[in-house]
Chain A
Amino acid sequence: RKEVEQDPGPFNVPEGATVAFNCTYSNSASQSFFWYRQDCRKEPKLLMSVYSSGNEDGRFTAQLNRASQYISLLIRDSKLSDSATYLCVVPPSGNEKLTFGTGTRLTIIP
């Protein structure tokens, strides 16, 4: 099993819709979880950290399910500018390196 697994998509979603991605991870000892966003031919940028209690930032909500070992990202009222690849990141416990999923490609359609 891969350390971090994501559905690569692509997800083609109409503007204004709600879209959700899941990401599963294999290391039950992992303590930190992140969602990064990567635009085409650009570097990854941190979108959200994922806390045990879940967190929300505007239209974005991240959730953690430790029992099932997955994290999720929900985007409400999607905008054209949300089109990007969303990378799930789960650093191994006690380790500084970031372990990325393959990313989920999202395209918002006008």
Chain B
Amino acid sequence: DTGVSQDPRHKITKRGQNVTFRCDPISEHNRLYWYRQTLGQGPEFLTYFQNEAQLEKSRLLSDRFSAERPKGSFSTLEIQRTEQGDSAMYLCASSLRRGSGGGNEQFFGPGTRLTVL
């Protein structure tokens, strides 16, 4: 399967613990995005990378959240001191951006479902 993969698929943790999620994008894609989705809502943008550079962060991304893409390939999203409000589906997407052309189809991974008890 050459699509976007995410690990783990499910994570249950206790409030206050740290968690880390991994995303492996489609291999030739240079852009990688993180979104969060709660029940009954559409995905909300968190942050995105072009290669290894983090180009934008949402205000939703509090200082407890950090994302990295050290080699421009896979990415990790870490949440420190988790809170019950962090419970959500965390989705990763990737796209191939060429030059200054407009529009980019983002391909989503299956997501990591986080439950904070």
Selected from B42, B103, B110, the residue in CB contact (under 8 A) with A32 is: B103
| A99 contacts B by Cβ under 8 Å | yes
Q: Contact: B111 with A43, CB < 8 Å?
A: yes
Contacts of A46 in B (CB 8 A): 105-107
- Binding stretch for chain B, among A11-19, A58-66, A67-75, A100-108: A100-108
The residue in chain B whose Cβ has the minimal distance to the Cβ of A89 is B42
Number of interface residues of A (CB under 8 A): 20
| B33 contacts A by Cβ under 8 Å | yes
Assuming the contacts A8-B40, A102-B40, asked whether A97 and B33 have C-beta atoms less than 8 A apart, the reply is: yes
Interface residues as binary, A67-90 with B (CB distance below 8 Å gives 1, 0 otherwise): 000000000000000000001000
| Number of residue pairs spanning A and B whose beta carbons lie under 8 angstroms apart | 51
| A96 contacts B by Cβ under 8 Å | yes
- Interface hub of B48, B91, B106, B107 (most chain A Cβ within 10 A): B106
- Interface hub of A32, A95, A97 (most chain B Cβ within 10 A): A97
Q: A31-B102, A42-B110 are known contacts; what are 13 more A-B pairs with Cβ within 8 Å?
A: A43-B109, A44-B43, A96-B31, A96-B33, A96-B48, A96-B55, A97-B48, A97-B56, A98-B106, A100-B42, A102-B40, A102-B41, A103-B42
- Name 16 interchain pairs, CB-CB below 8 A, sorted by A: A8-B40, A32-B102, A42-B110, A43-B108, A43-B110, A43-B111, A44-B43, A46-B105, A49-B105, A96-B48, A96-B55, A96-B56, A97-B33, A97-B58, A98-B35, A98-B45
Going nearest first, the 8 A-B pairs with the smallest beta carbon separation are: A100-B42, A43-B108, A97-B45, A32-B103, A100-B43, A87-B42, A102-B42, A103-B42
B interface, CB within 8 angstroms of A: 31, 33, 35, 40-45, 48, 55-56, 58, 91, 93, 97, 102-111
